[in-house]
Amino acid sequence: MTKYSKAIQEIINRSEGKSTHAQRLNMLQRQIYDATASLEKVAAHRDPTLPVEAHKMKIAKATKKLESMLETKRRAVDDFRYTAMTDLHTEVATASNLVADPRYSSAILSRFVGMKQKDQISFLNELLSDRDGPSLASILDAPKAATGLSRSHADRIYESYTKEVAPEASAALFEYAEVENALSSTIKAAKRAASEMNNPIEVDRIIREQEKAKEAEQRLNEAMNPS
């Protein structure tokens, strides 16, 4: 009865973060692992002095505790996401100097909009080659209605540029997204563990297997130590 905690541990092993923000998500993962493993331990190790119904109540209490914790962690992730993404995008923008200069941004945008498409491409390539972050930002931050660039196209230019000029900050941003996806998988695995322990049929099956194992152990002891 450790399949869910083992699955969560494997997820954690594959998603260890290096940045501060990603490591905070790793901490939440480990807390969820501990709570899931605790529930599995309660279900798998029945106190022989407890009646069956008392054991079931103990499982139900541990299950409710895990469910409550998962909801708390989910809200914490939602709250933290805005702060983390703001910090990380700011780090990328600062490291890549991808911040429009208000003194020139209008003139740069007007010049870009007035160009033919082939000239726009040449202009963008020139800015990329010169690593002119402020001028690029003047164009990429503008809406499609102004530039004619689709959001996906602008995002590809942004990603290509920041990866080249700000590799560490870009890697931290990518890492956060990866670890957050891993945390989502962690929460799903823990929810499946709770759902299983909320199923009376499954709990009864586990108890029957425990009783069978206990009977088998008793018969083995009797065979090894005949009267």
For 196-209, what is each residue's pLDDT tens digit?
Answer: 999 988 888 888 88
- Chain segment 118-166, per-residue pLDDT in tens: 999 999 999 999 999 999 999 999 999 999 999 999 999 999 999 999 9
Q: What is the pLDDT of residue 209?
A: 80
Q: What is the pLDDT of residue 49?
A: 85
Q: What is the pLDDT of residue 46?
A: 81
Residues 6+ apart with CB under 8 A from 209: none
Helix (H) or strand (E) holding 28: helix 20-44
Q: What is the pLDDT of residue 210?
A: 73
Q: How far is CA 187 from the centre of its chain?
A: 9
String of DSSP letters for 51-95: -HHHHHHHHHHHHHHHHHHHHHHHHHHHHHHHHHHHHHHHHHHHH
Q: What is the pLDDT of residue 47?
A: 82
- Chain segment 13-40, per-residue pLDDT in tens: 999 999 999 999 999 999 999 999 999 9
Q: What is the pLDDT of residue 138?
A: 96
- Chain segment 44-87, per-residue pLDDT in tens: 888 888 888 888 999 999 999 999 999 999 999 999 999 999 99
User: Which one is predicted more confidently, 103 or 48?
Assistant: 103
Give the torsion through C-alpha atoms of 85, 94, 152, 130, to 10 deg.
-170
Encoding tokens for residue 148? 């004619």
Are 40 and 5 in contact by the 8 Å Cβ rule? The answer is yes
Q: What is the pLDDT of residue 50?
A: 83
Q: What is the pLDDT of residue 162?
A: 94
Q: What is the distance between the alpha carbons of residues 166 and 101, in angstroms, rounded to a whole number? A: 19
Q: What is the pLDDT of residue 81?
A: 94
Q: In this model, does residue 1 exceed pLDDT 70? A: no
Encoding tokens for residue 29? 């993962």
Q: What is the pLDDT of residue 148?
A: 92
The most distant pair of C-alpha atoms in the chain lies apart, rounded to whole Å, by 101
Spatial CA neighbour of 19 closest among 87, 98, 95, 94: 87
Are 135 and 98 in contact by the 8 Å Cβ rule? The answer is no
Q: What is the pLDDT of residue 173?
A: 95
Confidence of residue 218 (pLDDT cuts 50, 70, 90): low
Which one-letter DSSP state was computed for residue 149? -
One-letter amino acid at 211 equals E
Q: What is the pLDDT of residue 219?
A: 64
Rg (CA), the chain: 28
Residues 6+ apart with CB under 8 A from 37: 2, 5
One-letter amino acid at 68 equals S
Q: In this model, does residue 179 exceed pLDDT 90? A: yes
